[in-house]
Structure 1
Amino acid sequence: MGFSLSKQLNKAAKMSACSGREGAKVVIIGSGFAGLAAASTLVKGGFKNVLVLEAKDRIGGRANTTKPFTENVIEVGANWIHGQIGNPLFKIAKEKNLLSEGLPSSESSEDYFFKEDGKPVPNTIVDQVNTLFSNLTDKASHDALAPEHQDLTMGAYLDDAFGTSPLAATEDGRQVFEWCKRNECTDEACSSLYEVSASQMSNYTTLEGDFFNTLGPGGYRAILDVLLKDVPSGAIKYSSPVKSIRWDLAKEGNCQDQRYPVQVICENGQSFEADHVIVTVSLGVLKEKATTLFTPGLPVNKLNAIKNLGFGVVDKIFLYFEKSFWPTDCAGVQMLWKEGPENKDVYEALSEGDAWKTTWFKKITGFDTVARHPTALCGWITGREALHMEKLQDSEIRDTCLRLLRSFTGWSVPAVSKMLISRWGSDSHIRGSYTFVPDGVDGVAAHKALASPLPPKDASIGKRQLQVLFAGEATHVNFYTTTHGAYLTGIREAERLKSYYTV
């Protein structure tokens, strides 16, 4: 029905925005949480001509639920719902009974920390450093940095604050602290905390409630399916990557004389006219294509926002074994290095040149157990090291991971039966994982500039307004990096259009 719907939209060429919600043609680019939230909200709001163009052959974007090993799901992308109070996705999951039940409690298991010589680190040291690290990051998140730390990078601030602790005087303490910074890089999707702004951390809002809410057997796909039910069958055109967006095509005049102001042209040659286009592609795609995707070109402030905001890579390495080899109370194997990549001296020494590529594996924080997969482990890696890993053969990555597990733990680690490796940075339709605010960048201004519709507010009023709208996690000032942030921006732009047609 997708083709007939597109023909239907094109046959409506005589209709324009003047005919209200039912006649307005809206094209949404992308079917992740932002795109589906926008489509669902518009359809429920009375819009009849809504078309979603999806570059991939599936919905979800950076949420990708799959079953590569058993009948149970694996989350290649988005993994948890972060926060509960005020989180719309948690609310949906709760109401639809999509949250996990009966999974082993994290309180009954713990991470095992090993140094590279194979010696374990006492839990007392790990807990003390983790608690201190959490307190320090909370200060940044709650805008409670001391004046001398306001202009520092996150890495520099943490180093300075940790240096005053007795824990910094011990080798174990320093190595656990470096692991904490490496682990934080996963939350920030950055190559290093020495590239992230400390003061800008307070702009991100952490919702109350458990930060790691695990979904049930349907995974994230189950929530996406809830949204999909509101979208008419055939309204999504798959495998339709967009090549160009031509906007501001409308002529001056009355409704009968007005052309559609926007034309979307796909790489396969198909084109679609629209009154409004909602762009929900990732910041990574915008970084790669913003200067060629739009005609006329984007305003300078929006181009600067795209350039200045960071968009990092977080990859997962899933290792599936025929039998587990770790203790039943083990939640994960975490690896500590004498000279880890988040050690300040190491970072500075490797800031230039390609020497860091020979030790890319040191950016792996460790290997965590996987929900519903009692014989699987998941390794986490971020930043430039993740991008480098993506270019390697699966066999080399597998052998490296096995070598690490065996050398750090001293356990008898069997061969890997199956494996799955995400490669988000190499994905031409994504180009990364999520947004962070680099040092020296005004995140609030950048997020707002990215979210502003076209034409700009200072353009002439009337039907030239709201031709191209922008949604996605990178356009949310407080909830960037999250699925609920993406979802809320889709609703935000749909509500903007609904208000536009409200008399």
Structure 2
Amino acid sequence: MGDKIVEIGANWIHGPCQENPVFRLACRYQLLDAEAASEQNQAVDVGGHPPFVPNWFSSAGRRLGPELTEPAEALFRGLLEECQRFHRSGGEPVPSVGEYLKRCAPGLAAEAWRDAAARELRLAAMSALLKLECCISGTHSMDQVGLGAFGMYHTLQGLDCTFPGGYEGLIHCMMKELPEDIVSYNTAVKCVHWNSSVQRAGPNGRAFPVWVECENGQSFPADHVILTVPLGYLKKHQKTLLSPPLPLNKMHSIERMGFGTNNKIFLEFEQPFWSADCEVIYFLWEDESTLTDAVRDVHRLWMRKLVGFTVLKPTERYGHVLCGWIAGHESEHMESLPEEEVLKAMTQLIRQFTGDPTITPKKMVRSRWFHEPYTCGSYSYVARGSSGYDTEMLAEPLPLKGSTTEPLQVLFAGEATHCTFFSTVHGALLSGWREGTRIASHYGSSSFPASLSSKL
């Protein structure tokens, strides 16, 4: 974004502590600032929801104080914690997180807040927080997120932090530890032929159980292939990406699992309209006191799904830049619109909520993850009707257990294959190490050595 680095993709190290391999690598490569790498930062336990300093604005163009919004935040946070406990206790009174929140919130609000006007505004604030949870979970609506499995996700200690030089710095450092010219770029895979479905001699006349066919006509023979494509891509191409096709039970698990879109809209300003200590801006629609996280008319009202913005810090590095968050079908529709139309909608929205008709962003950058051909969305979640069984089934190598053909021909990694750290970079990294260890164990090594460099 000009001379500023903004993250179109993954933004934070979630849970920067010694248990997080991404954090350990970042420290080893000296990619973090001193505060993020400190023991004090690692000791903070926020349960996956960092305590950002908020500025709340309403659709009537007024600023809302903490005496109004903090009770709403506390009630919403408490209900989310209840949702997570169903995974440990077993059973679920309703199928989804969204249904549970919408069922419980009105009654609790009526008991806690006698003043009708304040209650309506606080419930509207909870609608904004529900939209935020859609961004965190990567779903169109929390009605699609399974209640019984919601607590599968495991949070790590540490206050979430970012890479001052961008996440790509970590990739560059990791790539330097690999042999030169080992990665083939611009070589898109068309089909993975496994189970000796292609009868062709490889190097030295040897037969291989797997052949990787690429769009450019190249083919690569292999004993083992680790497939790391996003779940969204797998959902779209599962019937053609592998030959023979995936076993039916694996296909059914892929179909049941959740994968959604979460996009960012970065806006740069000459001067801030937010307070100096502000870390997050929330937009509260005053007519949304009935909890809602989806709009009635996606094409006309998509911008109502935008929950607000995080403030990029420190100001000395970024200037006055906000990152807007929008999930779901509304987010996917936003991707299809011209840049100038999105910028106009953002400008009108900010002017409406601040009551200041002069505010004008000077630059905009947005992500378009749904229309990216190799992602088809952002990250996974445990959908209603799905469970940890589906995650484990997705991670199960081919051929499945009980087969008499060569083992471990096609292995599966990526964030969606991790039962507790799905949707995260550290979950993706750990899943890759898991499959590497699986292959090493097959050849007689019990595991990789403990050092990070050996795993790379």
TM range (shorter): 0.7 to 0.9
Matches within 5 A, 1:35-434: 68-70=1-3, 72-85=4-17, 86-101=19-34, 110-143=53-86, 149-165=92-108, 166-167=111-112, 170-210=119-159, 212-215=160-163, 217-249=164-196, 259-340=207-288, 343-344=291-292, 347=294, 350=296, 355-371=297-313, 372-411=317-356, 413-434=358-379
Structure 1 residues 340 and 146: alpha-carbon distance in aligned structure 2, compared to 1, 3 A threshold: farther
Deviations 1:80-99 (A, max 9, x none): 01113411111222233222
- Distance in 2 between the 1:340 and 1:370 partners? 28
- The separation in 2 between residues aligned to 1:236 and 1:413, in whole angstroms, is 50
Cα RMSD between the aligned structures? Answer: 2.6
Change in CA separation of 1:259 and 1:399 when aligned onto 2, cut-off 3 Å: same
**Is the deviation greater in 488-497 or in 232-241?**
232-241
Question: Which residue pairs with 1:481 in the alignment?
Answer: 423
Tell me if structure 1 keeps the 8 A contact 2:263–2:327: yes
Shift of 1:413: 4.3
Report the AA paired with residue 493 of structure 1: E
- Residue 474 of structure 1 deviates from its aligned partner by 0.5
Give me the whole-angstrom Cα distance separating, in 1, the residues matched to 2:88 and 2:271.
47
Structure 1 residues 193-202 or 134-143, which shifts more? 134-143
Q: Deviations over 1:334-359 (max 9, x none)?
A: 11113449835x85x94xxxx33211
Identical counterparts, % of pairs: 35
Deviates more, 1:414-423 or 1:387-396: 414-423
Helix, strand or coil: the match of 1:243? strand
Moved more, 412-421 or 480-489: 412-421
Q: Distance in 2 between matches of 1:337 and 1:108?
A: 22
Residue 142 of structure 1 contacts residue 202 of structure 1 at CA under 8 Å; is this kept in 2?
yes
Secondary structure at 1:237's aligned position in 2? coil
Find the aligned partners of 1:476 and 1:294 in 2 and give their Cα distance: 21
Moved over 4 A (4+): 105-109, 144-149, 255-258
Q: Any conservation in 2 of the 1:114–1:408 contact (CA below 8 Å)? A: yes
The TM-score normalised by the length of structure 1 is 0.78
In the TM superposition, residue 131 of structure 1 has moved relative to its aligned partner by 1.6
Secondary structure (helix, strand or coil) at the match of 1:199 reads coil
SS in 2 for 1:478: coil
Deviation at 1:302, TM superposition (A): 1.0
| Cα distance between partner residues in 2 of 1:373 and 1:389 | 25
How far did 1:132 drift? 1.8
Pairwise CA distance, 1:136: 1.6
The question of whether the paired residues in 2 share the 8 Å contact of 1:246 and 1:294 is answered with yes
Partner of 2:439: 497
For residue 256 of structure 1, report the CA deviation from its aligned partner: 9.0
Q: Is the 8 A contact 2:56 2:284 kept in 1?
A: yes
Moved more, 111-120 or 469-478: 111-120
Unpaired runs of 5+ in structure 1? 1-67
Q: Using the TM superposition, give the Cα deviation of residue 268 of structure 1 relative to its aligned residue in structure 2, in angstroms.
A: 1.0
User: CA 1:295–1:107 in structure 2 vs 1: closer, same or farther (change >3 Å)?
Assistant: closer
Deviations 1:373-395 (A, max 9, x none): 12111111001000000000000
User: Is 1:450 matched up with 2:385?
Assistant: no
Deviation at 1:149, TM superposition (A): 4.7
Deviations 1:297-336 (A, max 9, x none): 1001111111111110000001122333433233233111
CA 1:381/1:241 → structure 2, altered by over 3 Å: closer, same or farther?
same
- Please state how far the C-alpha of 1:499 moved relative to its aligned partner: 0.7
Structure 2 vs 1, CA of residues 382 and 393 (structure 1 numbering), >3 Å: closer, same or farther? same
* Structure-2 residue corresponding to 1:468: 410
SS for the counterpart of 1:435 is strand
CA contact (8 A) 1:341 1:362 kept: no
- Partners of 1:109 and 1:437 lie apart in 2 by 26
What code does the residue aligned with 1:92 have?
L
TM-superposed deviation, 1:502: 1.0
Q: Which amino acid aligns with 1:115?
A: S
Aligned residues: 420
- 1:112, CA displacement in angstroms? 1.4
TM-score normalised by L of structure 2: 0.86
Q: What is the SS of the residue equivalent to 2:140?
A: coil
SS at match of 1:164: helix
In structure 2, C-alpha distance between the alignment counterparts of 1:270 and 1:145, rounded to whole Å? 49
Q: Tell me the CA shift for residue 107 of structure 1.
A: 10
Q: For 1:188, give the aligned amino acid.
A: S
Distance 1:456 1:109 in 2: 46
